[in-house]
Amino acid sequence: MSDIERLAGWLRCPVCGDDLVPVDRLVLGCGNGHRHDVNKRGYASLLGGGSRHLSDTAEMLDDRDRVLSSGAYDPIAHAVATAASGAAPARILDAGAGTGHYLRAVLAAAPDAVGLAMDLSPAAVGRAARSSDRIDGLVADTWRPLPVRSGTADVVLDVFAPRNLPEFHRVLRPAGRLVVVVPRADHLGSLRADGAMLDIPADKADDVLAASAALYAPLTREHVAYDLPVTPELVGALRGMGPSARHASDAGAASDFAAATAPAATRVSVDVLTLVRAPERA
């Protein structure tokens, strides 16, 4: 199977919903005549009229790479891979994939599987697709109907990302798994004390479980928590890799992140939720 055939096997037309197939080396099309270009780097952008949401900047992605390559979040990646592997997945969709770090962790535990890295940021999708020959890329908005075929994923990952629970339900196969990672209120608490990072609502995992109850059955809930030694450079990257970076930049404080006095350690505290797709009600 060629790369474009494998990519097309994930996708449906964002205009009419029909399955997409290759019609040229870098063009996908549907039976209704809609055509969509594939980037030379091997990913498709199916945003249509664009998005009203902001995607991650190159600077945010660089900071995320610094954090993740340091091993700071390896226990989270291990928990995600363990949760996903219970489904013996062959096809894994990572919604809000960023640079593909968690998707690669799942693929490492499932050597015969392939993944689709979906993100609003073309730069993120490009990095993810280049990072592994087992990862296809899709630029799309999670808040919209997903340009992904129904019942095509064994696992959907949603790690620190927006959640479109009805659409995740649609693209999952029967009894497929949704793995969600959300931060607890004390996550990176010592770095939030000065107000440079956004606060986290309490009981975020409970909110996810309540919102998902009509479509999913809860399977496991794991609290991953540990003390993370930090340096000023790691503090700067932790603050710069997420949405807090935009607020700090607006306040003219972004350049002060790495120079801020760093504590010796901070607390990592997240919930890893594993949900099973419930059958559609008659």
Above pLDDT 90, what percent of the chain? 77
Residue 100 labeled ligand binder:
yes
Predicted pLDDT at 52: 73
Angle (CA) 143 145 149, round 5°: 130
* Burial readout 122-150 (b: 16 or more C-beta within 10 A, e: otherwise): bbbbbbbbebbebbbbbbbbbebebbbbe
Residue 16 labeled ligand binder:
yes
**pTM of the predicted protein model:** 0.92
Residue 169 labeled ligand binder:
no
pLDDT digits (tens, 9 = 90+) for 221-265: 999 999 999 999 999 999 999 876 655 544 444 445 444 555 789
Residue 96 labeled ligand binder:
no
Q: Which domains does the chain have, with CATH numbers?
A: 1-38 (no CATH), 39-277 (3.40.50.150)
Whether residue 6 contacts residue 115, with contact meaning beta carbons closer than 8 Å, is answered with no
Residue 236 labeled ligand binder:
no
Q: Rounded CA gap, 235 and 263, in Å? A: 9
| Long-range CB contacts (within 8 A, 24+) of 163-168 | 163/95, 163/208, 163/211, 164/95, 165/211, 165/212, 165/215, 165/216, 166/215, 167/142, 168/95
Residue 247 labeled ligand binder:
no
Mean pLDDT, range 176-195, rounded to an integer: 91
Residue 202 banded pLDDT, cuts 50, 70, 90: confident
